[in-house]
Amino acid sequence: MTLSPQIEGSYTTEQVIPLRHYGRWISAVLLLLALAAGIWSVVHNSGFGWSVVGSYLTTSSVLSGLGVTMELTVVAMAIGIVGGIVLAVMRLSPNPIVGGSAWSFVWFFRGTPVLLQILFWYYIAALYPTLSIGIPFGPTFFHANANTLITKFVAGSLALGLNEAAYMSEIVRAGILSVDSGQHEAAHALGLTRAKTMRRIVLPQAMRIIIPPTGNEIISMLKTTALVSVIALSELLGAVQQIYARNYQTIPLLIVAAIWYLTVTSVLYVVQFFIERHFSRGQRATARGLGHFFQSFAIRPRGSTRTRAL
């Protein structure tokens, strides 16, 4: 007791020399030098053709290609997310036929290249010239020519969407399994049916686990859409390829595409941040503003600064 005031006093009066991190300074200077050299070469290498980049960045064919890319991403991800939830719930069903069907779907669509699936859907008319809706082995209610129904865009969306559903189902299943069994029990004890328990109690909690890898999948999908150029669907990459096939400005036009991909990806980063924040309700230390978004770039991983509830 008698010692502590003296110790406190010594802290306030003595000069404190903070630890110097010389290694950090050296590595930072080296990296900044490398960055400066990189920027210098990009600016002074005429091969980049920045004036060409500028003139094509917002031409109508590039913008319409960007539009197709974004539409494909949205449609394919919608199919993927809805299909993924359905497949995940099927996988967890006590009925072995239902669970097995979902397993087989995932096995097929994860087990073949997405490029093959795009071509397959594009050439589906060779297998089934007419498509019809009806009762199996019974009457049909709807007929259509496969070539008119499966356009390039439909083929591309189906291929990317169904492939994505297989991956999303694993992400959703992991999310559902991460929710404590006590949550199911508490909901059942209150008289909620299994479907309501899933929709109102389990899935909202599973979302916290599902969102980050789904953000990953969306960003990955944005770029995977470039594969549909094999069926001559002119999305962003296809559009710039068509232009440089005419004017031979290959590098500048690839940069145009890269700029647009990066722009859309950056917007998705911000969107993901806000969705994640929404579904982490009830968790301690919920990030509150855009300031926290920029903090997420900090060197320390976010997981270590968060405290988990309970």
Partner 1 sequence: MTSPLDPIAPSPVVSAREVRKRFGPTEVLKGITLEVTEGEVLCILGPSGSGKSTFLRCINHLEKIDGGSLEVNGEFVGYARHRGALRELREREIARNRVGIGMVFQRFNLFPHLTVMDNIIEAPIHVLHQPPKQAQAHARTLLAAVGLADRENAYPSELSGGQQQRVAISRALAMRPQLMLFDEPTSALDPELVGEVLSVMRRLAEEGMTMICVTHEIAFAREVADRVIFMDEGVVVEVGTAHDVIDHPQNERTQLFLARVH
- Which helix or strand (DSSP H or E) is residue 224 part of? helix 203-224
204 in contact with partner 1 (CB under 8 A): yes
**Cα–Cα distance measured from residue 15 to residue 272, given in angstroms and rounded to the nearest whole number:** 46
Indicate the residue among 1 and 309 with the shorter CB distance to partner 1. 309
Does position 180 interact with partner 1 (CB under 8 A)? The reply is yes
State the amino acid at position 241 in one-letter form.
Q
Does 185 bind partner 1 (CB under 8 A)? Our answer is yes
Which region, judged by CB under 8 A, interacts with partner 1, from 104-112, 129-137, 194-202, 237-245?
194-202
Member of 30, 126, 194, 232 binding partner 1 (CB under 8 A): 194
- Kindly state whether residue 196 participates in binding partner 1, applying the rule CB under 8 A: yes
200 binds partner 1 (CB under 8 A): yes
Contact stretch for partner 1 (CB under 8 A) within 13-21, 122-130, 165-173, 201-209: 201-209
Closer of 110 and 200 to partner 1 (Cβ):
200
- Give 259's Cβ-side CA count (13 Å radius): 16
Contact characters 96-115, partner 1, x per CB under 8 A: --------------------
Q: Which is nearer to partner 1, 94 or 139 (CB)?
A: 94
Q: Is 9 in the site for partner 1 (CB under 8 A)?
A: no
Q: Count of alpha carbons within 13 Å of 54, Cβ hemisphere only?
A: 3
61 binds partner 1 (CB under 8 A): no
Q: What minimum distance in Å lies between the beta carbon of 302 and partner 1?
A: 18
Q: Are 293 and 270 in contact (CB under 8 A)?
A: yes
Residue 176: CB atoms within 10 A of its CB come to 19
Residue showing tokens 């991403």: 73
| Closest separation in Å from C-beta 198 to partner 1 | 12
Contacts of 195-203 with C-beta under 8 Å, sequence gap 24+, read: 198/89, 202/176, 203/85, 203/175, 203/176
Binding status of residue 303 toward partner 1 by CB under 8 A = no
User: Among the candidate windows 62-70, 191-199, 223-231, 259-267, which touches partner 1 by CB under 8 A?
Assistant: 191-199
SS3 of the chain: helix, strand, coil, percent, to 5: 75, 5, 20
d(Cα 140, Cα 182) in Å, to the nearest integer? 47
- Do 180 and 230 form a contact (C-beta atoms < 8 A)? no
Task: Assess contact for 156 and 118: CB atoms under 8 A.
Answer: yes
- CB atoms inside a 10 Å sphere around CB 305: 12
Q: DSSP class of residue 96?
A: H
**Total binding residues for partner 1 by CB under 8 A?**
25
Of residues 17, 189, 298, 299, which one binds partner 1 by CB under 8 A? Answer: 189
For residues 127 and 125, what is the distance between their CA atoms, to the nearest angstrom?
A: 5
Task: Establish if 274 lies at the interface with partner 1 (CB under 8 A).
Answer: no
* Binding pattern for the stretch 205-224 against partner 1, x by CB under 8 A and - elsewhere: x-------------------
Q: Which is nearer to partner 1, 59 or 205 (CB)?
A: 205
Binding site for partner 1 (CB under 8 A): 180, 182-183, 185-194, 196, 200-201, 204-205, 279, 281-284, 309-310
